[in-house]
A and B are shown apart, each in its own frame.
Chain A
Amino acid sequence: MLFPTLDFLLFFLVVAGALALLDRNFAAKKAMLVAASYFFYAQWDWRFCFLLAASTAISFTAGVLIGGNRDPRVRRLILTIGVTLHLLILGIFKYLDFLILSANQLAHLLGLQHELPFIEILLPVGISFFTFHGISYITDVYRGDVAVCRAPLDMALYMSFFPQLVAGPIVRAAYFLPQLARPSSEPIPVAAALLLILGGMVKKVIIANYLATGLVDPVFAAPETYGGPDLLLATYGYAVQIYCDFSAYTDIAIALAALCGFRFPRNFNQPYRAQRLREFWQRWHISLSTWLRDYLYKPLGGNRNGRFNTYRNLMITMLLGGIWHGAAWKFVMWGALHGGGLAFERMAEPVIGRRPTSLQGKVVSWLIVFHFVCLAWIFFRAEDFTVAGVFIAGLGSGWSEPIQQAQPAMVALIVIGIAGQFLPPGSYERAGLLLQRVPYWGLGVAAGLALAAINALGPEGIAPFIYFRF
């Protein structure tokens, strides 16, 4: 069940009706949201609900056991077991066939004839996200960053809450669980939520979908048949597509959580306006980058043990961040490029400074960072290394050939997508304050009109969000 569909609109209408009925009974409201979240998840494959429940049970039990023990060795052992179980589930469902494929390729290189059979397990939607939720909760309890959750219902809602269940943002236990302790006394911020939903719908239904079908998919499917201009514009197109697709999902998730009475953290902040690669990661998928920083980079030593170890830690963190996205070497390459880029930037900091100061410096830095990020996206999007190699080689040739795919509408969508990155900070807040003056029925009419218009302007049928497969 995808957010921009009639199915989801009807589902949310039922949820909104139930929330209104259960407005004064917080425990019943939480129970209803758990039931709704499992129903939502079952729409992909009902069997995965058992996996989600198992992941929840592991987190809950590990948390209670860690909280009930004072012996540091026992606490550490429970933490290790809990995290290992989570990683084991993720490893089996997401990485086992990749490991078998890599082992078979290595055996082939060594001249061995025997091949291991593939397991061919269906990848459960959102497994990477709820696994990270579980790991962060257990680790935070161990570190004393969050109190032990002794209410199974709260833990179930934290792990399964439908807005963020399949593609984030990754919400920390220390941030979300306190919200489940007592009902919020705040009104529903409907104007702010409506802006996020409609903005997300435009980004996903119109910009990301048209760029995917009209430009990115055909060019990445056969890059050898296109000249340099098509390849370059398809690269920019993918940069805009993945941003619009993923940020749309998290914007709508944030809005839905707000409509249910909960807060979610910010996940994107105009990432393509970054002038340093480090700044890009402070603006892109913020909940993942801070998760990797707090649960991987810092435990590895962060920047505390000298320059070499800092570069090594950056590299390990980004390599694992790459493999988190998918079981393929192309994602490792994507992570390696970002890790290497971040390490190089640190190395060069005494010369280039932490931030550019002059206008020329800002423009040049922006161009370098944006194109570096685009280069890494080629590996991320291409089917494999061979296609990525053909694509990159093709960028330097065929500049006199006529443009085939990157026609005016596609270029306009790219320009709109990139221009949106440079909207002045505070534009969203100002629009939200203006909308707050409109009565609720007026907002309902405006939302309905906008939804009908977006439906008319978008293509027929909606492709799944890119991050669903991660």
Chain B
Amino acid sequence: MALTRSERAPLVTDAIPPHLRRRGITQRQLFMACAIAAAMPALLASHDTPAWTEHLGDSRFVHRLRDTIAAWDEEMERSGLSRPHEMLREAMARLLNLQWSDENR
């Protein structure tokens, strides 16, 4: 039997309004979109992936994974794909280092 909301139950506003729910995608398309989204940081932010493997342990599989990721990172650096990521990071560091006056330096 379907459950229904009684008249006395509190009315709650859906966070996503109805007109944004009318168009969308299927679960399969969602999986594809997630896979594409996950692949982009692997291309552009490859410098961060070697550090991520540090908490995975010390098994033979992990060692092999580390080697693969390190080789991948070198390849991305050689191709220049990871450069925009580094430039953004440097720009942010410069912004964070701005001071109101030289006395604070």
B and A form one assembly: yes
Q: Is the interface of B mostly helix, strand, loop or mixed?
A: helix
Using known A-B contacts A452-B44, A456-B45, determine if residue A190 contacts B33 with beta carbons closer than 8 Å. Answer: yes
Interface residues on B, range: 35 or more
In the bound assembly, the distance between CA atoms of A409 and B33 in angstroms comes to 34
Interface footprint category on A: 35 or more
Q: How far is the CB of B21 from chain A (nearest CB, A)?
A: 5
By the criterion CB–CB under 8 Å, are A263 and B92 in contact? Answer: no
B25 x A294 contact (CB < 8 A) = no
Closest Cβ of chain A to B1, distance in Å, is: 8
Residues of A within 8 A of B98 (CB): 407-409
Q: Which residue of A lies closest to B6 (CB)?
A: A145
Is A409 a contact of B48 with CB atoms below 8 Å?
no
Interface string of A72-115 (1 = CB under 8 A from B): 00000000000000000000000000000000000000000000
Q: Which of A267, A409, A452 has the most CB of B within 10 A?
A: A452
Query: Given the complex, which residues of B lie within 8 Å of A20, measured CB to CB?
Result: 26-28, 30-31
Residues of B within 8 A of A120 (CB): none
Q: Is the CB of A178 within 8 A of B101?
A: no
B29 on the A face (CB < 8 A): yes
Asked if residues A187 and B25 are in contact (CB atoms below 8 Å), the reply is yes
A78 CB to closest chain B CB (Å) equals: 19
Complex contact A192–B20 (CB within 8 A): yes
A13/B34 in contact, CB under 8 A: yes
A-B contact pairs, 19 of them (CB 8 A): A9-B41, A13-B31, A13-B34, A13-B35, A23-B27, A145-B6, A145-B10, A174-B5, A174-B9, A175-B12, A178-B5, A264-B14, A264-B15, A403-B104, A404-B104, A441-B33, A444-B33, A455-B45, A457-B92
Judging by beta carbons under 8 Å apart, are B96 and A210 in contact? yes
Is B63 located at the chain interface by the 8 A CB criterion?
no
B16 contact from A17, A182, A192, A294, Cβ within 8 A: A192
Q: Tell me if B8 counts as interface (CB < 8 A to partner A).
A: yes
| Minimum C-beta distance from B79 to chain A (A) | 15
**Chain A at the B interface: mostly helix, strand, loop or mixed?**
helix
Q: What 8 A-B pairs have minimum CB-CB distances, sorted nearest first?
A: A448-B40, A187-B24, A444-B36, A444-B33, A456-B88, A174-B9, A447-B37, A192-B20
- Contact between chains at B40 and A449 (CB < 8 Å): yes
- Interface membership of A436, Cβ < 8 A: yes
Least distance between A334 CB and chain B CB atoms (Å): 25
Report which A residues bind B (CB closer than 8 A).
6-7, 9-10, 12-13, 16-17, 19-20, 23, 140, 143-147, 149, 172, 174-175, 177-178, 180-182, 186-193, 196, 210, 214, 254, 258-259, 261, 263-267, 290, 294, 402-404, 407-409, 412, 429, 432-433, 436, 440-441, 443-445, 447-449, 451-453, 455-457
- The reply to whether A265 and B36 contact each other, CB–CB distance below 8 Å, is no
A190-B24, A191-B24, A452-B41 known; 20 other A-B pairs, CB under 8 Å? A9-B37, A13-B38, A20-B26, A174-B5, A174-B10, A178-B2, A187-B26, A188-B24, A188-B29, A190-B25, A263-B15, A402-B100, A408-B98, A429-B20, A432-B20, A440-B29, A444-B40, A448-B37, A448-B41, A453-B88
* Interface membership of B13, Cβ < 8 A: yes
Minimum CB–CB distance from A250 to chain B (whole Å) comes to 8
Nearest CB in chain A to that of B96: its residue = A409
Pairwise interchain contact A407-B100, C-beta atoms closer than 8 A: yes
Q: Is the CB of A145 within 8 A of B8?
A: yes
Residues of B within 8 A of A290 (CB): 10, 12
